[in-house]
Chains A and B, each alone.
Chain A
């Protein structure tokens, strides 16, 4: 059988498996099988690629695959669920780096042969793909460092945007030199990649940790695009299809995330968070916060018809998701209807909170998103807010001067009683006072998330005893 037909046919099957896999990942019932389908496609594509005609360096290829796979598998299996976002950033950066490496090999070869080789179209795609891959590589590593807490501060200095634009122009200039043939030398190839790597670092450093999910999603889309471009260079249909699918899907996902945070993509990339919020943080809210004891909350919830739990990232930080589910099971056994309301940006990425709740064993039928649940708050007896702040702040609905005005929020304030579990008094990370905490139907339960929920479990047990 013709080897090239076997390779092309296998790539075709791989493309089919990838698209079917992503499709199956779009429903909770089939999601698990989706990744298995895509995984099978990846194994097939990798195996047939060994049959490529004219290849050598097999020992290097196998060594690199074994080492890279082993380290990634080991780290991927043991990372904690709360650290998932930065892990995705890391693996994504590796993909971007690989795309840049392919471009570098191609460009150095052409430069070494004195510019003879593929036409301008292929060279342009190699250069642009390599540049995007390099930006995605260094940018993702910075995102990883920030979320992992390795980089604490957001670096900002005057003229930063100007510097970034200069760096962008410099990479483009290097690309034009290469493609036009004027400067098709190894030195220019090196310059292209160095400046692109620097650009990724400079672009990502000023962005605050809270915006990082949007940035990771953007780099995910960019890596897809870089892979597609290098697929054009190598004439590899599997890379073109998979890379483009990820590029467009990732772009849509990035838009959804930015929209959920009420920030435009440009806003995320070109202005540090907190600068606009600082001004409004002074806006005082009338009224006072009213504390409550855990025992009273336990009785209140045990004799409710319906309780809606609103978990935020603070819950995950306190590792209280298992305890919360234990509490909810007690309530369900006592005949209370319990639901979880998830804001699109609860956790650190859309869907992150769902994963954390699923890990604790919460069935996904009980988990509702913003559109589903908002009408239900009026019929709820208790809205229990744990570690969430800005996403339940009613000023987003009614105060035009607030920086978060217009952001979709969970209408917790519409519930008959609102219980907020909070470590202490003070504003959320945005620095905005939360008007919800001052409402007449709101009571504050102060304490560490895990400890407070433990007290509630005891209280409910006694109340239903």
Chain B
């Protein structure tokens, strides 16, 4: 990927992020912050590649921590976002759910 193409991707993605969120109602702000927190969990693929190419023990240790943290970001972000959004599925009062 050439530098200038990467720059175009950067610009277009920045506008996309702005536009996608600009239409979000307030009630979804917290789930959305959590959802976007999950999306940057994609750092996992970068951490995997970094660890996969690590050679020295130092590189391997840091890479291992990187993958560990990235997996936590992705999976934890998914778990809490899904839990929050679960509550928006039905509009009626859900008596089956009961009290927690």
Contact = CB atoms under 8 A, between A and B. Distances in A.
A34 B85 contact: yes
Interface residues of A, number: 121
B53 to A, nearest CB: 7
Interface string B68-100: 111111111111111111111101111101011
A342 B79 contact: no
A101 B26 contact: no
Interface string A9-42: 0010010001101110111110110111011001
Contacts of B21: 22, 26, 249, 252-253
B86 to A, nearest CB: 6
Contacts of B84: 81, 84, 355
Contacts of A36: 82
A167 to B, nearest CB: 22
B67 to A, nearest CB: 4
A106 B84 CA distance: 37
Contacts of A267: none
A69 B27 CA distance: 28
A227 B53 contact: no
Given A32-B85, A35-B35, A101 B42 contact: no
Contact of A238 (B42, B53, B70): B42
Interface in B32-70: 32-56, 58-60, 62-70
A54 B94 contact: no
A231 B26 contact: no
A202 B65 CA distance: 23
B30 A352 contact: yes
Interface stretch (A87-95, A292-300, A456-464): A87-95
B70 A246 contact: no
Contact of A355 (B42, B87, B97): B87
Interface stretch (A55-63, A308-316, A384-392): A55-63
Interface in A240-254: 240-250, 252-253
Interface stretch (A70-78, A157-165, A174-182, A272-280): A70-78
Contacts of B45: 11, 45-46, 49, 236, 238-239
Contacts of A428: none
A359 B27 contact: no
Nearest to A360: B99
A79 B80 contact: yes
A60 B29 CA distance: 36
B96 to A, nearest CB: 10
B26 A344 contact: yes
Contact of B70 (A39, A68, A76, A84): A68
Majority secondary structure of chain A interface residues (helix, strand, loop or mixed): helix
A270 interface: no
B85 A244 contact: no
A95 B85 contact: no
Contacts of B63: 57, 60, 101, 105
B71 A64 contact: yes
Contact of A35 (B53, B81, B93): B81
B53 A92 contact: no
B29 A256 contact: yes
A125 to B, nearest CB: 10
Contacts of A224: 36, 39-40
17 contacts: A22-B35, A26-B23, A26-B28, A42-B38, A49-B48, A57-B63, A72-B74, A76-B80, A91-B76, A98-B66, A108-B58, A243-B40, A243-B42, A246-B39, A249-B21, A249-B32, A354-B27
Interface of B: 1, 3, 6, 9-10, 13-18, 20-56, 58-60, 62-89, 91-95, 97, 99-100
Interface of A: 11, 14, 18-19, 21-23, 25-29, 31-32, 34-36, 38-39, 42, 45-46, 49-50, 52, 54-58, 60-61, 63-65, 67-69, 71-73, 75-77, 79, 81, 84-85, 87-88, 90-92, 94-95, 97-102, 104-106, 108-109, 112, 121, 216-217, 220, 223-224, 227-228, 230-232, 234-250, 252-253, 256-257, 322, 325, 329, 342, 344, 347, 349-352, 354-355, 358-359, 361-365, 367, 369-370
